[in-house]
Chain A
């Protein structure tokens, strides 16, 4: 994602340009979906939260202002992060129960779409500090670069790089490579 390009699109949208609306949607859809996918327990919840996040962004896009000092991309991912936190807060009890049921019911034929790997990875990521896991998800799954991640996490690029390398190092301890081959 090119920051200038995104800012340009946002400005055009604020002036009512529909073409930019769909272009920005294309730019944001995949990174947000992937970010939610690795944070949430299943595909259905991911779809629900992704649509909530995207609709929230587009309905409030005219209220976004650069002058407040927040970059657009960090504004977007803060909305996503808040929605995910809300989800876990509301569904805390249900999720604990569901986890057990899912374990019992897990079936080979189910829509795998990496559910198995995802669970393994999610468990491994849980062992890392929040900022480390956040930087890894944003970099490798949402496909953002370090500048964008530094904006989202409110840290310098060097700090982000350190977070990632430390995160990867400790992730190696918790990952069983055979599962991913």
Chain B
């Protein structure tokens, strides 16, 4: 029993997502309690990053080496001087009067003012603004909205990474993100009822009077809803719409939703996003030049961005820079920035996300994300397409599931035969017959054929049922006669 209990204790594992969220919350407590000087944080950060990177460095090295063989290298750059820590996020395109509250004090806002952690922004009637974060993500705040920047912490050792946590108390916001959420790049948006984790998603959230409308227009948005009966995880795909309140939960595709005035807001933001994309690339370009690259390589960086790279290529560039920074101890490393050739080999970098269980439907879903375009995926040979695979269960859990299945089956059989017996009672059989039939039913309830027959006869007339039982009884009696006549005699007596 002791080893059984110990094994059971060992097999319990909390979800990864929960661990990450809780760790972040604990970090936030630390920050609010014992805020240290930047310099101190910086060196502690170096130590922690080097420690964390040790596990990944070998993987990155081999992955990088393999990538160089597959994709044509265009140029190489040298990384130096990691950027120093700063909020790196600013408010701009301010339209009308907007209130900024910092340390419980109202602060006057000017165009391109740097925002800090714990800042609160409130917009009034017909006022709006946008916030550009250090990683290039953009948040547009609509009228009558209140948000709090719970966390805004760039990672001083990595390029355009860090954690962002925004709390939407009420109102309407639009957010555009360009990178996948990982432990190093954690973007999180909270509302009173939910937490959202965008993966290169472009989405709108509206929260008013306990009602929440979420619309995702690009990639995936992982959402955790807080309900009275616990949490509920949802993966919102492209062009999906969710209407949520504590009493109602609806999801729908974008086309079937009556958007009305909401429609204008979406169209406007999609247009703005198209313009902002170029600006984002430019921002990455200048940051690379300013913070990481030697002067002599500027032309090469320019030519990469002039070649009209896709969002995925830019994301890959950012990842490569970060990998190089993680591996390097003295922050001086050669990296290869690549641009896909005109006829590229389709590469799938499938990344398994955690298994997220949908509490309501009790179904578990496993998602895989791809960094390739849908077109590329179609053109792949069959054997290279990754498909959704069922959840991997441990052997223990599998055995458990089988056991449970068996138990349920047995219960169903018992239920069925009990129901059947009840039916016979209702049709007032003779008392002796009832006991006989009950015994017969008990003897046949494990017989597969009989169960099926019972099922099929459930809705038949009493006459048919009587007929069947009679036949069965005669058959059993005959069998018994063939086997051991003495037993029959004894029974008759």
Contacts and interface: CB of A to CB of B under 8 A. Distances in A.
Contacts of B230: 42-45, 48
Interface in A111-156: 111-114, 116-117, 121, 136, 140-143
Contacts of A16: 33-34, 36
B2 A140 contact: yes
Contacts of A50: 14, 22
Contacts of A5: none
A124 B440 CA distance: 36
B6 interface: yes
A142 B8 CA distance: 11
Nearest to A121: B8
User: Helix, strand, loop or mixed for chain B's interface?
Assistant: helix
Interface residues of A, number: 51
Contacts of A141: 5, 8-9, 12
Contact of B30 (A21, A111, A112): A21
B429 interface: no
Given A18-B36, A110-B357, A142-B9, A172 B1 contact: yes
Contacts of B47: 19
A18 B231 contact: no
Contact of A117 (B36, B229, B400): B400
A2 interface: no
Contact of A58 (B15, B26, B401, B405): B26
Interface in B390-439: 393, 397, 399-401, 403-405, 408
Contacts of A113: 12-13, 397
Given A50-B22, A54-B22, A112 B400 contact: yes
Contacts of B231: 44, 47-48
Contact of A29 (B5, B19, B48): B19
B229 A98 contact: yes
A107 B4 contact: no
Contacts of B12: 33-34, 37, 113-114, 141
Contacts of B26: 21-22, 25, 54-55, 58
A51 B34 contact: no
A59 B32 CA distance: 9
B5 A136 contact: yes
Interface residues on B, range: 35 or more
A93 interface: no
A179 interface: yes
B362 A105 contact: yes
B8 A108 contact: no
Contact of A108 (B5, B48, B401): B401
Nearest to B362: A110
A80 interface: no
Interface string A67-111: 000000000000000000000000000100010000001011111
A147 B32 CA distance: 34
A121 B359 CA distance: 22
Contacts of A19: 44, 47-48
B402 to A, nearest CB: 9
B308 to A, nearest CB: 43
A61 B405 CA distance: 47
B11 interface: yes
A18 B30 contact: yes
The 8 tightest CB contacts between A and B, nearest first, are: A44-B230, A16-B34, A141-B9, A140-B5, A110-B362, A111-B357, A107-B362, A58-B29
Given A45-B230, A46-B14, 7 more contacts: A16-B36, A43-B230, A47-B18, A51-B21, A58-B29, A59-B33, A111-B364
